């Protein structure tokens, strides 16, 4: 497991959480799922570290973002896919990850003149993924799901028009 040296502590080391290690690998462009068929099911059982993911994305250069784009597309598509499952933990964590991606990439997109929606889903998947996402939003908002999901769904839904306005 990777470690990070704490500032001012000599030889003491602090372990990085697994989800943070995964974020770093994804954003470097590494293929994190190639050796584990259940990777994404396991990933969405890990509690998202919203601030960490936001910070990692927002400090990336345009070149780094372009290198990580295939993995960002995969993460976005897996978030949308997981929203269609029945496991409430995976759905909630998928939604939280998706909201974080939308928020942080929309901020980064404005600064770097990138089309955030296309960047997230990939041009070839754009209409299908956005339609699926909006359909799932509607299903969650109309259906009998727990309040945590509805709150995050409203949060995410309200950020989609803002992204379009910024592009």
CA 75 to chain centre: 6
What is the reported pLDDT for 1? 47
Work out the burial of residue 79: count CB atoms within 10 Å of its CB; fewer than 13 is exposed, 13-18 middle, 19 or more buried: buried
Predicted model pTM? 0.74
Written as one string, the DSSP assignment of 72-123 is: HHHHHHHHHHHTTSS-HHHHHHHHHHHHHHHHHHHHHHHHHT--HHHHHH-G
What is the reported pLDDT for 160? 54
Query: Could you tell me the mean pLDDT of each successive run of 10 residues in the chain, 167 residues long?
Result: 50 79 93 89 94 93 89 91 88 90 83 73 74 79 60 60 53
């Amino acid at each position: 497991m990777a470690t990070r040296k704490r500032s001012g502590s000599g030889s003491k080391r602090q372990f990085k959480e697994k989800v943070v290690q995964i974020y770093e690998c994804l954003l470097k462009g590494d293929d994190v799922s190639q050796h584990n068929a259940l990777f994404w099911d396991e990933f969405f059982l890990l509690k998202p570290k919203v601030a960490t993911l936001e910070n990692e994305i927002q400090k990336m250069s345009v070149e780094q973002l372009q290198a990580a784009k295939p993995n960002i597309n995969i993460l976005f598509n897996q978030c949308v896919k997981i929203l269609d499952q029945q496991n409430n933990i995976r759905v909630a964590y998928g939604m939280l990850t998706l909201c974080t991606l939308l928020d942080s990439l929309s901020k980064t997109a404005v600064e770097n003149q990138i089309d955030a929606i296309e960047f997230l889903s990939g041009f070839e998947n754009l209409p299908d993924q956005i339609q699926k996402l909006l359909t799932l939003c509607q299903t969650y908002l109309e259906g009998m799901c727990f309040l945590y999901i509805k709150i995050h769904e409203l949060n995410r839904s309200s950020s989609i028009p803002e992204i379009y306005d910024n592009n």
